[in-house]
Chains A and B, each alone.
Chain A
Amino acid sequence: MRSKVVVLVFFIFAILHHDVWNWDDRSLWLGFLPAGLGYHVVYSLVVGIFWYLVTRFAWPHATEAWAEKSSPE
């Protein structure tokens, strides 16, 4: 269930990346940051938070345990 939520949110992020509404927006956020760049800076920060939540709540414990179970080395 959790992995399905991760995949769904991932695709929502992929859609949100395509910010066509900023395509011809040359305004400056805070007086210096072009809108199209400012949007993607915020996007990068939110993506970082998303991945934090993924590692917190959808961590692949089963894969980790499987790898540790028996190692030939």
Chain B
Amino acid sequence: MTTFYILVGYLALLMGLGLLSSRFFKGTSADFFVVSRSVGSFLLLMSIFGTTMTGFAIVGSTAKSYTDGVGVYGLMASWSGLMHSAVFFAVGIKLWAVGKRYGYMTQCEYFRDRFESDRLGYVLFPILVLLVIPYLLVGVIAAGKFIQPTTAGLFPELFPMPNLPNGNPHPLNGGIPPAVGGGVICLIVLFYVFFGGLRGAVWANTFQTIVFMGTGVIAFYMISKNLGGLKAASEAVAASDFGAERLGREGMMSKLQFLSYCFVPLSVGMFPHLFQHWLTAKSAKSFKLTVVAFPIFIMIVWVPCVLIGVWAAGYLGPLDPGQSPNSVLGRMVGQLVHSPVLTGLVGAGVLAAIMSSLDSQFMCLGTMFTNDIVMKKYGADRFTDRQKIWIARGFILFVVGSTYLLAIALQDSAHVFDLGVWCFSGFAGLFPLVFASVYWKRVTLPGAYACILSTAMAWGYLFYHDILAVKPAGAGDEEMLVFGMMPVAIIIALSTVSLVVVSLLTKKPSEAIIRKFFV
């Protein structure tokens, strides 16, 4: 029960933090939605980092390194270290500046003004919401599915599972079912976002980031110690048939795939929840620490997980049929450390990584609905600040409830986790739009529509062939590549060409707009 008590204690601390943050709430909509634009360097770094890192950064990175080897770090982590900071510096600060000057709270408000078109906001809103929802689903399902094995055996009478066909007890017997675990996680996130607004999310993210960074390092230390030290752990991999090739990249991934992965991290430039976090900054200087520390923070989280994944290839060998690589981290902790305290801490770390993304996404959907739909349709002056906050809270409640029900319905679908990657590709496909909007005076409204349309068409076509189309017999579950590259490379190429060509062929934007948005 120690593991369970640690998880409960962690979740109780989060609720306490939510209550505390609500005591600082000033009662205005600007405070609820963008923390009165008062967040300093440290909180901005921690909240943005926590929001960007999902449960994949801990569980998925270990699993992916187990299957694809050490190249996973270069593929996903060091590219992100370079590209995320570039986007924060080149795009984030610019958007913070226009947000502060003109009082924006959502992306749609900015794009509407920048391209002088209300309709553009109505086109973008459903696209952004549809791309965030699968991301939310992955978080809720992952949390539920993680809690069940972590608590297996604790409540055999409350949550019994039938024995396996061979008569052995079910390994998940007595574990909290995903429907209950996912529900509890939703309720706790709802609690601190509902009462604390984005301040609640910022404070919680800061705490959660400290937890998942700390527990990752502790798990790494304990696992390496029990494998006989760093050298012994890696030498064992080199000596194993299954593990040795995972120390290099040959046969694990192609060079074009490695190169074209650079486009995936561009998605952060169009994440609506990150846009909202950028607007919370007290000043442009608040971004400095985030820009500098991001590559280092990514390294601190990913290097231990990648090494644990590669060591697992040597220690565990090939998995049995039906076993998921996502179980590798749990098995390494369970088999090597035998400590319910560490199991509980790692569990809290994984939940922290998942919840620190969920809260910002719930919050941004509430903000977008209130500002981009309700205020736009009925007029901002028609509502008091108090009413705006309650409209947002109502929509957050609706989104949390809908996400939970969808997660329950889809939790056993084989493709839900693939949707996460496709969300990133969709946001990355729209990156040329935001980049052009802050740097290219010649970009036009038809160019913006062309960019959105080409992204939607290319994304839809590739998504259909990867997820929905019936695969030929014997086709594997390999990652989809187009001409050997990540699909996102094709999507970005098409969206960029469409945006540039159509903009050049259509009438220049007005001088007033250029004066308004360019320094």
A44 CA to B245 CA, complexed, in Å: 24
0 or 1 for each of A33-53: is its CB under 8 Å from B? (1 = yes): 111110111011101100110
Most chain B C-beta atoms within 10 Å of own C-beta, residue among A13, A17, A22: A17
Q: A13-B82, A23-B248, A71-B101 are in contact. Are A28 and B306 (CB under 8 A)?
A: no
Smallest Cβ distance from B491 to chain A, in angstroms? 19
The reply to whether A37 and B70 contact each other, CB–CB distance below 8 Å, is yes
0 or 1 for each of B211-239: is its CB under 8 Å from A? (1 = yes): 00000000000000000001101110010
Smallest Cβ distance from B92 to chain A, in angstroms? 11
Q: A44-B298, A44-B299, A54-B89 are in contact. Are A23 and B73 (CB under 8 A)?
A: no
0 or 1 for each of B136-160: is its CB under 8 Å from A? (1 = yes): 0000000000000000000000000
Which residues from chain A contact B231 at a C-beta distance below 8 Å?
28, 31-32
The reply to whether A72 and B249 contact each other, CB–CB distance below 8 Å, is no
Task: Name B75's closest neighbour in chain A (CB-CB).
Answer: A40
A48 CA to B289 CA, complexed, in Å: 10
B332 within 8 A of A: no
- Interface of A, secondary structure class, is helix
Which residues from chain B contact A66 at a C-beta distance below 8 Å?
97, 101, 519
Which residues from chain B contact A68 at a C-beta distance below 8 Å?
100, 283
- 5 closest A-B pairs by beta carbon, nearest first, are A67-B97, A32-B230, A64-B284, A26-B247, A24-B250
The reply to whether A72 and B303 contact each other, CB–CB distance below 8 Å, is no
Partner of B248, one of A34, A48, A51, A62: A34
The reply to whether A36 and B74 contact each other, CB–CB distance below 8 Å, is yes
A55 CA to B98 CA, complexed, in Å: 20
The reply to whether A24 and B248 contact each other, CB–CB distance below 8 Å, is yes
B30 within 8 A of A: yes
The reply to whether B235 and A28 contact each other, CB–CB distance below 8 Å, is yes
Which residues from chain B contact A26 at a C-beta distance below 8 Å?
238, 244-245, 247-248
A71 CA to B488 CA, complexed, in Å: 37
Task: Name A16's closest neighbour in chain B (CB-CB).
Answer: B82
* Interface residues of A, Cβ cutoff 8 Å to B: 10, 13-14, 17-20, 22-26, 28, 31-37, 39-41, 43-45, 47-48, 51-52, 54-55, 59-60, 62-64, 66-73
The reply to whether B85 and A51 contact each other, CB–CB distance below 8 Å, is yes
The reply to whether B100 and A71 contact each other, CB–CB distance below 8 Å, is yes
The reply to whether B291 and A23 contact each other, CB–CB distance below 8 Å, is no
A59 CA to B291 CA, complexed, in Å: 11
Which residues from chain A contact B292 at a C-beta distance below 8 Å?
48, 51-52, 55
The reply to whether B248 and A44 contact each other, CB–CB distance below 8 Å, is no
The reply to whether A40 and B73 contact each other, CB–CB distance below 8 Å, is yes
B189 within 8 A of A: no
Partner of B103, one of A32, A41, A73: A73
Which residues from chain B contact A37 at a C-beta distance below 8 Å?
70, 73-74, 303, 306-307
Smallest Cβ distance from B296 to chain A, in angstroms? 5
Smallest Cβ distance from B23 to chain A, in angstroms? 23
The reply to whether B295 and A51 contact each other, CB–CB distance below 8 Å, is yes
Q: A26-B247, A47-B81, A72-B103 are in contact. Are A63 and B258 (CB under 8 A)?
A: no
A47 CA to B299 CA, complexed, in Å: 11
Count residues of chain B with CB under 8 A from any CB of chain A.
56
A73 CA to B249 CA, complexed, in Å: 53
Which residues from chain A contact B307 at a C-beta distance below 8 Å?
37
Most chain A C-beta atoms within 10 Å of own C-beta, residue among B97, B235, B288: B97
The reply to whether B255 and A20 contact each other, CB–CB distance below 8 Å, is yes
B71 within 8 A of A: yes
Q: A23-B248, A24-B249 are in contact. Are A67 and B100 (CB under 8 A)?
A: yes
B388 within 8 A of A: no
Task: Name B306's closest neighbour in chain A (CB-CB).
Answer: A37
Task: Name A46's closest neighbour in chain B (CB-CB).
Answer: B295
- Beyond A36-B74, A67-B100, 4 additional contacts (C-beta under 8 Å) are A23-B249, A37-B70, A51-B291, A67-B101
Most chain B C-beta atoms within 10 Å of own C-beta, residue among A31, A34, A37: A37
B204 within 8 A of A: no
Q: Which of B59-112 contact A (CB under 8 A)?
A: 70-71, 73-74, 77-79, 81-82, 85-86, 89, 93-94, 96-98, 100-103
The reply to whether A22 and B249 contact each other, CB–CB distance below 8 Å, is yes
The reply to whether A55 and B291 contact each other, CB–CB distance below 8 Å, is yes
A22 CA to B250 CA, complexed, in Å: 9
Partner of B96, one of A17, A23, A45, A67: A67
Smallest Cβ distance from B305 to chain A, in angstroms? 11
